[in-house]
Amino acid sequence: MKEQPSPTGTRCPECGQGQLLSLSRTEDFDFDLGDETVNVHAENVPVQKCDKCGEVMSGPAAAKVRHEALCHAVGLLTPSEIRALRDNFGWSQQYLADLTDFGVATVSRWERGRLLQNRSADKVLQALRDCPAFREYLERLLALKSGKEEAVEREKPPQLAAYCDATLSMEGAEQLVRMSEDASCLVHAGEDLPIADKAALLRKAASLQRS
């Protein structure tokens, strides 16, 4: 059953004669990601429409619905999912920023739907949510950086290599390598190799561990 527009009691700021009616609608739009354009399908977008001139207006509530739909279309974590990640581990925005070096302002914008994270950042967030070994490793690095641990045994957990090999694409593995550049969690023989080759080493190590 189609929703009927409901009067808001507010005069249209565009024509000054009509009244704004509140309604929800379905929207389809293209979004340019830079390297590709994706089609987004958003349902139940709250808008207001003038009953005289037909002008359609929307605010923060509509922007939130459109942003969530965009995240689903691209395959990224939504703002609510990023907040849920923090809440699940009892982390503040500042702690997540310190853990990843993303920046607290960036984390805040992601969670408010004011900024869309790129795919590399999203893979790191998903790894934090889904991979205990990766999460614990970054927490140990942060503790070391903060001076809370006098010494840390710097070995890459086997689970992390397995996660890179079984779950992440090469791009994702490369991102994990970049985040751990300041620690000797990589195979020592490959320290001078390019990023992509280091990621390949991690994947090879994982296959050797299973054999």
Residue-level pLDDT at 148: 60
Q: Is residue 142 part of a domain?
A: no
Instruction: Find the range with the poorest average confidence among 51-60, 103-112, 143-152.
Output: 143-152
Higher-confidence residue of 166 and 10: namely 10
> What is the distance between the alpha carbons of residues 211 and 207, in angstroms, rounded to a whole number?
6
Q: Is residue 25 part of a domain?
A: yes
Q: Count Cα atoms within 13 angstroms, Cβ side, for 74.
A: 24
Same domain, 64 and 89: no
Residue-level pLDDT at 64: 95
In this structure, what token pair is assigned to residue 190? Answer: 């490959």
Cβ-contact 180, 135 below 8 angstroms: no
Same domain, 160 and 174: yes
Instruction: Find the range with the poorest average confidence among 86-90, 129-133, 178-182, 199-203.
Output: 178-182
Could you give the C-alpha distances from 159 to 131, 136, 211, in angstroms and in order?
8, 11, 15
Q: Is residue 138 part of a domain?
A: no
Enter the pTM of the model.
0.66
> What is the distance between the alpha carbons of residues 167 and 133, in angstroms, rounded to a whole number?
13
Q: Is residue 145 part of a domain?
A: no
Instruction: Find the range with the poorest average confidence among 13-22, 129-138, 144-153, 173-182.
Output: 173-182
Higher-confidence residue of 149 and 140: namely 140
Same domain, 43 and 93: no
Same domain, 175 and 122: no
pLDDT at 196 over 50: yes
Same domain, 15 and 40: yes
Same domain, 69 and 107: no
* Long-range CB contact pairs, 66-69, < 8 A, 24+: 66/27, 66/29, 66/40, 66/42, 67/113, 67/116, 68/42, 68/113, 69/40, 69/41, 69/42, 69/43
Most confident of 30-34, 40-44, 156-160: 40-44
Q: Is residue 197 part of a domain?
A: yes
Q: Is residue 57 part of a domain?
A: yes
For the chain, the average pLDDT equals 79
- Give which of 80, 183, 89 is closest to 132, Cα–Cα: 89
pLDDT tens-digit profile of 66-98?
A: 999 999 999 999 999 999 999 999 999 999 999
> What is the distance between the alpha carbons of residues 170 and 160, in angstroms, rounded to a whole number?
14
Cβ-contact 130, 85 below 8 angstroms: no
Boundary of a domain, candidates 26, 44, 74: 74
Boundary of a domain, candidates 35, 58, 74: 74
Residue-level pLDDT at 197: 52
Same domain, 34 and 80: no
Domain enclosing residue 199, as ranges:
154-211
Q: Is residue 147 part of a domain?
A: no
Residue 96: which CATH number? 1.10.260.40
In this structure, what token pair is assigned to residue 41? Answer: 């399908």
- Give which of 3, 9, 8, 1 is closest to 24, Cα–Cα: 3
CA 104 distance to own-chain centroid:
14
pLDDT tens-digit profile of 141-189?
A: 999 887 764 444 444 445 555 544 444 445 555 555 554 443 334 333 3
Same domain, 186 and 210: yes
How many separate domains does the chain show? 3
Residue-level pLDDT at 138: 93
Q: Is residue 144 part of a domain?
A: no
Same domain, 52 and 107: no
Same domain, 64 and 81: no
> What is the distance between the alpha carbons of residues 190 and 132, in angstroms, rounded to a whole number?
25
- Give which of 27, 18, 20, 26 is closest to 6, Cα–Cα: 20
What share of the chain in percent tops pLDDT 70? 68
pLDDT at 201 over 70: no
Residue-level pLDDT at 5: 87
Same domain, 47 and 37: yes
φ/ψ of 196, rounded to 5, equals: -60, -40
